[in-house]
Amino acid sequence: MTDRSGHNPAAGFRKDVVGYCDPLSVRAGETVHFKLSRYGEGVITADVVRLSSGDDRPHGTGLIEEIVAADLVPRDVGLEVSHQPLRPGSYALVKDFPPVASGSLQLYCQPTLVDARRQTLVCNGTLLLQVSALGFYAVWATGELFLDTAVVSQRWYKVRLTLGVDSRLEVTRYAAGRAETDRTDQTEPTTGCSFPGGDLYFAASAPGEGHFNGRLEAPMVVAGEPGGSTEVVAHWDFAADIPAQTVTDISANAYHGRLFQNPTRGVCGHLWDGSVQAYAQRPAHYGAIHFHADDFTDAGWHNTLSWQTPRNLSSGQYALKLLVWAEGEIVSDEYVPFFVRPGQGQRRNKVAYLVPTATYLAYANQRLAFVPGPFGSRRLHHANDAFLFAHKEVGFSMYEYHADGSGVHYSSRLRPILNMKPKTGTWAFNADTHITAWLDQRGEPFDVLTDEDLHLEGAAALAGYRVVITGTHPEYYSTRMRNGLSDWLGRGGRLMYMGGNGFYWRVAFQPDNPAIMEVRRAEDGTRAWIARPGEYYHQFGGEYGGLWRRLGKPPNELVGIGFAAQGFDGGTYYRPAAGLSSDAYARIAFILQGISNAEVWGNYGSQGGGAAGEELDRWDAELGSPAHAVIIASSENHKPGMLRVKEEFHMMEPLGEDPKVRADMVFFEVPGGGAVFSTGSISYAGSLAHAGYTNDIATITNNVLSRFLDATPFPMPGDPVQV
Ligand SMILES: [Fe+2]
């Protein structure tokens, strides 16, 4: 793959095997299944490692791992791995559709990416109904119809194909505005078009073939001779069961179908007129399904290797480590991380690291690092980015667009995720290993659990833990995750929020498959794309999407601070708060024990050179930050690129000194004896390891964890002191 100048930036990087696993989180004693695919030659050896740090940059914490199960296959034989394809493209499949010799097929369609290629609207055996920029086509074993009409993206069309002796194609183009009128064209009649019967596809000819980009609505098949009686064979109502991966035939024959690769549902159909905004209010306006040739939520690979975790395996962050060898040398590697919780009935540690897997899904396979612009450059830095660059078919993150220009609403862990690994950029997963590395360096035993576990189990997933530690960027929260964390905190929990821009977007998980996550980027916020009008409600569960801040549950209420600013041109330091009351000082004295008398903290670190950087959160009473929270320190002197979040601008104004661009490090007590410590910065964890963990940031963090581990309740300020 080359760019315009003929240069191949991926040259020189090797990735000979890639994989994913299912489940991502198991309890000790349960089995993880690894699904791998081969892309190059070589003998593959397989170990399981406990992964402490994946930051292998020269100035990073290093790659720190420990083998816990060596040689899952004999080294001289190697692991047998075949190539398994990545086949993107969503579609609907109705099995065993009957032959229909005479009658009609009708549907509504809105193409969103028309070009010279033919895209398939409906396929049944040899019968194809297709569209291209030039017109509509019906093709069958013995004949063909072509309706010559310019097809335009984003326009709705009603397509009617008559079957039998009077086979013809009739297309009504709906007007785009008041100055136009609807227009109907039709072909000359011919004969012999029919449904041969068998598997019926919508939006594809077969998996991976002829995929359609656009919306389909209300397909209907009617049987009957011209002039005689007719019978509805099937009439699919795409507004029925919108949260599900099924399509419903509302005729008496019940030819229901299934959806594959998560096309977008809960989207506006041809009837939508702006009178409602939620599909639940008037489903008839939401009768469309939006298919994309590049939708991809399940690679569907078979298991290459399964590993039953030992019953006594410590809870933690692990990875299958694959090395590819040629002539006695390692030529490439692959890590497939997974998370192990304590086994049923096994003793738990006091500390839980809540792995932000929802964030990992949102960023899964994001390519911003090598798209020239504010977040990256054309240069590829490692084999994982090189694979992403060369293999679009591995699917997108929620920060990207489909080829037709619509935002990517779904992400999934049932596919290789090239940036959820060690030895990648230090964002999300790999940046979070700064936290696991710190806990290990401290010698702190800790359990892990994932966002998915929290979503499925709510507060029960956290019960029994005294301290919960977040990752650097726990940005995506479902309602059940947020309620679960909040409920646990209300029962005396102690929460260490170790990052920035947390608890920001509401997300939803597929009801019958939590491996798949949905976001609707509604109305406002720092958005990679914007959901279309009328489409702000999640398909999964029907909740209104968007920022938790706009939904009345700002992060400030939960963790004392909320998203304030973003910038990637370097970090800075925190300045300890001046003039704290003696009462406030007494409440945070435990945090300040043993720190140096430096004027500022954290003016160092591997993430942009300072503990305060990338994305920042600040205390703000107007946004629900607790009044009794103590601001321990605030960042200052940010680089010019650190700009306030757009959701706080009512209209544009010249930028100047902005006192609201800052990270606030806060502490506050919660009713029930618990407490929250929040760092307010994504870069914070990158400063922990500075000077061999001998620094103020590490000391502060260690002090917080040590006190949070102590069962002594935190009294609320003003409460009578218990004696
Ligand atoms: Fe983010």
Distance 470 CA to ligand 1 centre (A): 14
Which of 291, 319, 346 terminates a domain? The answer is 291
Residues 659, 514 share a domain = no
Residues 536, 390 share a domain = yes
Residues 542, 564 share a domain = no
Whether residue 138 is contained in a domain is answered as yes
What pLDDT is recorded for position 272? 95
Instruction: For the chain, list residues with pLDDT below 50.
Output: 723
Distance 527 CA to ligand 1 centre (A): 9
Look up residue 269 and give its amino acid.
Answer: G
Distance 704 CA to ligand 1 centre (A): 25
Distance 501 CA to ligand 1 centre (A): 7
Distance 254 CA to ligand 1 centre (A): 44
Residues 272, 191 share a domain = yes
What pLDDT is recorded for position 178? 75
Distance 420 CA to ligand 1 centre (A): 15
Whether residue 255 is contained in a domain is answered as yes
What pLDDT is recorded for position 72? 93
For 667-693, how does the pLDDT look when each residue is reduced to its tens digit (9 = 90+)? 999 999 999 999 999 999 999 999 999
Distance 682 CA to ligand 1 centre (A): 10
What pLDDT is recorded for position 181? 84
Distance 524 CA to ligand 1 centre (A): 14
What pLDDT is recorded for position 346? 86
CA dihedral 554→560→564→565, nearest 10 degrees, is: -130
Residues 145, 42 share a domain = no
Distance 360 CA to ligand 1 centre (A): 10
What pLDDT is recorded for position 3? 52
The CA distance from 363 to 397, in Å, is 5
Residues 568, 662 share a domain = yes
Distance 473 CA to ligand 1 centre (A): 7
Distance 666 CA to ligand 1 centre (A): 21
Cβ atoms within 10 Å, residue 596: 10
Look up residue 446 and give its amino acid.
Answer: F
Per the DSSP assignment, residues forming a β-bridge with 263 are none
Domain total of the chain: 3
Distance 528 CA to ligand 1 centre (A): 10
Distance 500 CA to ligand 1 centre (A): 9
Residues 528, 657 share a domain = no
pTM, rounded to two decimals: 0.96
Whether residue 422 is contained in a domain is answered as yes
What pLDDT is recorded for position 6? 64
R_g of the chain, CA atoms, integer Å: 28
Distance 466 CA to ligand 1 centre (A): 27
Distance 564 CA to ligand 1 centre (A): 13
Distance 368 CA to ligand 1 centre (A): 12
Torsion 552-555-560-562 (CA) sign: negative
Whether residue 169 is contained in a domain is answered as yes
H-helix segments, 391-520: 429-442, 451-457, 479-490
Residues 560, 523 share a domain = no
Residues 140, 71 share a domain = no
What pLDDT is recorded for position 5? 59
Whether residue 578 is contained in a domain is answered as yes
**Token digits for 371?**
């798209």
Distance 475 CA to ligand 1 centre (A): 6
Distance 34 CA to ligand 1 centre (A): 28
Distance 476 CA to ligand 1 centre (A): 8
Distance 377 CA to ligand 1 centre (A): 19
